[in-house]
């Protein structure tokens, strides 16, 4: 039995003629300890997919099972790292992590909770900023706080919704390395969503493309990434396996796009049967 | 250190004095002097022009109570009122001393007898009236807030409740305090049948009238603030499965606090205006009654005294507003909008 299983999941928004189908017949199996990356263009329902797994949205059809049990509502067993961090601006770094820890582990003694909080702040290298508020932090630091808060919840599965998309390239690179390291240490099951092919190859055990279609996106064929860990991004360009994967995935997406373009232009426009009338005649 | 003082001043809304501090510190003199002129200088000129026009126009208008008072007469009355206050305080002290002596003597003569202290029956001074009004407005404001904030939070969280209450809110919101006054007076008289010496009926009536009018801005703003909380914050609460009370106190209230304080600020302003009208109409003690008494009194100084009351009402309203603005800025810190 898979750790996380999506069976025939569909989701749409709106009603009647304005109804837009976003996801259609999504089937997905994630094994325990696996790092799965869902790769897709923007606006193809990636966030919807993660919200469904998190339980923040309910599916129209199909079911989502975590360890064989259906997901009906959000819960701390699925730690979500939101695209825009979702930090509470009136709390410090410590306060944001403590909000989760103090509530979820309220039967722990205070000292143990404090150590737990500090451990995770240390893990994301934010100890010097412990007492700062989100407004005083850079984007990368904020995302780290979000990672610390989510990891400190001790979730069974981590759901990351484009966690690095709002960051500059340099910070992105550093955080990608950190996410991989943290995953190596914890071996949590992870579903990460991104639109960056390199990020996907760097982090994933398995990359699954999200294939946009008129009647809702569905999942394409999986690409297994068998590069040894820890992966070093700097040496990727000399790695034959990396280059093969990258070309293959890029080609897949380019084909998708050209197919779409054909579909879009396939519609022929019927011109009205009018003949120009000459005024001179 | 200087920056710290300036920071505090900015929160407290004393931006005007920032250049003064910088001047004392000897920072770029010309720049600061220019700034000073743009704030205090211009304000001084406006005040001067206002006083001049007032002094010029006021004597032209003759009323039954004599000329409309100019600045000079009003200044006279400020002094006369402060003199009255000092006299009254002296009398009160003297009365307390003689009364204490009287009671002690009676007790000594007849130990079994219970002797009551008589209350001083002098007229309340201007300062007493200010104090009464302030206590009343804060009581009414507190009462309104105690209902408005919890109800607003519930309305903001629950669309059904909001649409259920909306017609009531929309109808009662624009009602003037004057309309409420007779009903409140009758109801309080009917319910509060055994008046206690420490809780006067007039006080209850004024406070309730204030709260009936001050409740709406707080209620609406709280509901709006709660309804427009960033969805991400609510999602955090959902993922953590926070229980209702934790969600309210750790997420909803802190997130909506800037909105709530905007509502409270408007409420306090409305409450202060309403209170003066209510006191004036119902002869309940306070600044409003002072205005009415002076009007009835009809002496040559009455108009000037009413003017003093008007300035006092305005000044106190201004101070109350500044307090609320300061509190609002203070709770907005860390929200990324103000300061931080």
Contact residues for B111 (Cβ-Cβ < 8 A; gap 6+): none
Contact residues for A6 (Cβ-Cβ < 8 A; gap 6+): A26, A27, A28, A29, A52, A53, A62, A63, A64, A65
Which residue intervals of chain B bear CATH 1.10.3720.10?
126-331
Q: Look at residue B30 and tell me whether its pLDDT is greater than 90.
A: no
Contacts of B233 in chain A (CB under 8 A): 86, 88
Give yes or no for a contact between B279 and B287, defined as CB atoms under 8 angstroms apart.
yes
Contacts of A85 in chain B (CB under 8 A): 232
Average pLDDT taken over every residue of chain A? 87
* d(CA B242, nearest CA chain A) in Å: 7
At residue A214 the predicted structure's pLDDT band, cuts being 50, 70 and 90, is confident
What pLDDT score does B118 carry? 77
Q: Look at residue A205 and tell me whether its pLDDT is greater than 60.
A: yes
Interval B78-91 mean pLDDT: 89
Instruction: For residue A161, list its beta bridge partners.
Output: A193
Q: Look at residue B339 and tell me whether its pLDDT is greater than 60.
A: no
Percentage of residues in chain B with pLDDT exceeding 70?
Answer: 97
Closest listed residue to residue A160, CA positions, set A196, A131, A212, A130 = A196
* B254-269 residue pLDDT tens: 999 999 999 999 999 9
What pLDDT score does B338 carry? 35
Structure tokens at A268: 């022929």
Given an 8 Å threshold on Cβ–Cβ distance, is A88 in contact with B236?
yes
Given an 8 Å threshold on Cβ–Cβ distance, is B240 in contact with A100?
yes
Q: Look at residue B174 and tell me whether its pLDDT is greater than 70.
A: yes
Q: Which residue of B has its CA nearest to A98?
A: B250
Give yes or no for a contact between B70 and B58, defined as CB atoms under 8 angstroms apart.
yes
Q: Which 3 state secondary structure label does DSSP give B39?
A: helix
Structure tokens at B32: 């600061």
* B138-150 residue pLDDT tens: 999 999 999 999 9
* d(CA B9, nearest CA chain A) in Å: 22
Closest listed residue to residue A136, CA positions, set A87, A171, A100 = A87
Q: How far apart are CA B260 and CA B254, in angstroms?
A: 10
Closest listed residue to residue B258, CA positions, set B283, B222, B311, B211 = B222
Q: How far apart are CA B49 and CA B276, in angstroms?
A: 28
> CA dist A65 to A20, A28, A46, A59, B260, Å?
25, 10, 18, 12, 41
DSSP B51-94: HHHHHHHGGG-EETTEEPP-HHHHHHHHHHHHHHHHHHHHHHHH
Give yes or no for a contact between B210 and B278, defined as CB atoms under 8 angstroms apart.
yes
Q: Look at residue A267 and tell me whether its pLDDT is greater than 80.
A: no
Could you tell me which CATH class the domain B126-331 is placed in? mainly alpha
Residue A263 sits at φ, ψ, to 5 deg, of: -60, -45
∠ CA B325-B331-B334, rounded to 5°: 125
A227 touches chain B (CB under 8 A): no
Q: How far apart are CA B9 and CA B13, in angstroms?
A: 6
* A113-140 residue pLDDT tens: 999 999 999 988 899 999 999 988 988 8
Nearest to B232 among A75, A84, A135 (CB): A84
Interval A47-71 mean pLDDT: 90
Q: Which 3 state secondary structure label does DSSP give A35?
A: strand
Q: How far apart are CA B229 and CA B237, in angstroms?
A: 12
A30 Cα distance to chain centroid: 14
Q: Look at residue A101 and tell me whether its pLDDT is greater than 60.
A: yes
Q: How far apart are CA A224 and CA A3, in angstroms?
A: 18
Given an 8 Å threshold on Cβ–Cβ distance, is A78 in contact with B336?
no
A163 Cα distance to chain centroid: 7
Q: How far apart are CA B141 and CA A33, in angstroms?
A: 57
Give yes or no for a contact between B237 and B190, defined as CB atoms under 8 angstroms apart.
no
| Antiparallel, parallel or unpaired: β A206-211 and A189-194 | unpaired
Contacts of B241 in chain A (CB under 8 A): 73-76
At residue A105 the predicted structure's pLDDT band, cuts being 50, 70 and 90, is very high
- Please state, as a whole number, how many other Cβ atoms lie within 10 Å of the Cβ of residue A54: 24
At residue A276 the predicted structure's pLDDT band, cuts being 50, 70 and 90, is confident
Q: How far apart are CA B138 and CA B131, in angstroms?
A: 11
Average pLDDT taken over every residue of chain B? 87
Interval B149-175 mean pLDDT: 92
Nearest to A104 among B233, B240, B257 (CB): B240
Torsion, CA A259, CA A264, CA A270, CA A271, rounded to 10: -110
Residue B250 DSSP code: I
Q: Look at residue A108 and tell me whether its pLDDT is greater than 90.
A: yes
**What is the H or E stretch that residue A79 is in?**
strand A78-81
Nearest to B340 among A73, A82, A133 (CB): A133
* ipTM for this prediction: 0.81
**What is the H or E stretch that residue A13 is in?**
strand A4-13
Contacts of A78 in chain B (CB under 8 A): 239
> CA dist B200 to B192, B204, B207, B283, B292, Å?
10, 7, 11, 13, 20
Nearest to B240 among A85, A103, A133 (CB): A103
* d(CA B336, nearest CA chain A) in Å: 6
Q: Which residue of A has its CA nearest to B251?
A: A88
* B254-312 residue pLDDT tens: 999 999 999 999 999 999 999 988 888 888 888 998 999 888 888 888 889 999 999 99
- Of A65-74, B18-27, B233-242, least confident by mean pLDDT is B18-27
Given an 8 Å threshold on Cβ–Cβ distance, is A88 in contact with B242?
no
Predicted TM-score of the model (pTM):
0.80
Q: How far apart are CA B20 and CA B40, in angstroms?
A: 10
């Amino acid at each position: 039995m898979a750790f996380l299983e999506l069976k025939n999941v569909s989701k749409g928004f709106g009603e009647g003629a304005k109804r837009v189908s976003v996801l259609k017949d999504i089937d997905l199996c994630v094994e325990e300890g696996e790092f799965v990356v869902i790769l897709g263009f923007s606006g193809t329902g990636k966030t919807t997919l993660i919200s469904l797994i998190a339980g923040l949205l309910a599916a129209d059809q199909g079911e989502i099972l975590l360890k064989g049990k259906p997901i009906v509502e959000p819960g701390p067993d699925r730690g979500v790292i939101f695209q825009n961090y979702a930090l509470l601006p009136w709390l410090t770094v410590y306060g944001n992590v403590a909000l989760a820890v103090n509530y979820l582990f309220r039967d722990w003694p205070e000292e143990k909770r404090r150590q737990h909080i500090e451990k995770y702040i240390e893990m994301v290298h934010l100890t010097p900023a412990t007492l700062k508020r989100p407004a005083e932090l850079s984007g990368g630091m904020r995302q780290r706080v979000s990672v610390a808060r989510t990891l400190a919840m001790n979730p069974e599965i981590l759901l990351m919704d484009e966690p690095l998309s709002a960051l500059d390239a340099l910070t992105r690179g550093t955080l990608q390395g950190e996410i991989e390291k943290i995953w190596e240490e914890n071996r949590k099951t992870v579903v990460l969503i991104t639109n960056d092919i390199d990020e996907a190859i760097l982090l994933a055990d398995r990359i699954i493309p999200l294939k946009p279609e008129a009647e809702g996106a569905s999942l394409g064929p999986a690409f297994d990434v068998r590069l040894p860990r820890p992966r070093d991004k700097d040496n990727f360009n000399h790695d034959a396996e990396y280059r093969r994967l990258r070309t293959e995935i890029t080609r897949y997406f380019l084909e998708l796009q050209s197919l779409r373009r054909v579909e879009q232009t396939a519609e022929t426009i019927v011109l009205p049967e009018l003949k120009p009338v000459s005024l001179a005649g | 250190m200087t920056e710290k003082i300036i920071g505090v001043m900015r929160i407290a809304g004393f931006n005007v004095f920032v250049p003064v501090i910088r001047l004392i510190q000897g920072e770029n003199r010309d720049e600061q002097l220019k700034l000073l002129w743009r704030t205090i200088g211009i304000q001084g000129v406006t005040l001067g022009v206002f006083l001049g026009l007032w002094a010029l126009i006021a004597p032209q208008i003759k009323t039954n109570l004599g000329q409309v008072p100019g600045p000079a007469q009003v200044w006279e009355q400020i002094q006369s009122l402060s003199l009255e206050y000092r006299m009254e305080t002296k009398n009160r002290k003297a009365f307390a001393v003689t009364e204490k002596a009287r009671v002690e003597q009676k007790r000594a003569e007849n130990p079994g007898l219970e002797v009551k202290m008589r209350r001083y029956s002098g007229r309340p001074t201007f300062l007493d009236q200010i104090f009464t009004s302030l206590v009343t407005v804060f009581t009414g404001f507190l009462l309104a807030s105690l209902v408005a904030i919890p109800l607003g939070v519930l309305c903001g969280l629950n669309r059904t409740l909001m649409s259920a209450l909306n017609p009531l809110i929309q109808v009662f919101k624009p009602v003037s305090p004057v309309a409420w006054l007779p009903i409140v007076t009758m109801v309080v008289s009917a319910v509060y049948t055994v008046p206690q010496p420490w809780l006067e009926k007039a006080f209850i009536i004024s406070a309730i009238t204030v709260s009936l009018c001050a409740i709406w801005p707080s209620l609406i703003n709280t509901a709006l603030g709660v309804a427009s909380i960033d969805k991400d914050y609510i999602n955090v609460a959902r993922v953590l499965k926070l229980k209702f009370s934790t969600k309210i106190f750790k997420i909803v209230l802190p997130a909506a606090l800037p909105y709530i304080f905007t509502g409270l600020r408007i409420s306090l302003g409305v409450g202060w205006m309403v209170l003066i009208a209510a006191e004036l109409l119902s002869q309940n003690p306070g600044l409003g009654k002072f205005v009415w008494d002076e009007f009835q009194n009809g002496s040559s100084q009455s108009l000037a005294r009413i003017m003093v009351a008007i300035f006092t009402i305005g000044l106190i309203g201004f101070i109350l507003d500044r307090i609320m603005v300061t509190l609002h800025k203070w709770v907005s810190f860390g929200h990324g909008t103000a300061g931080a």
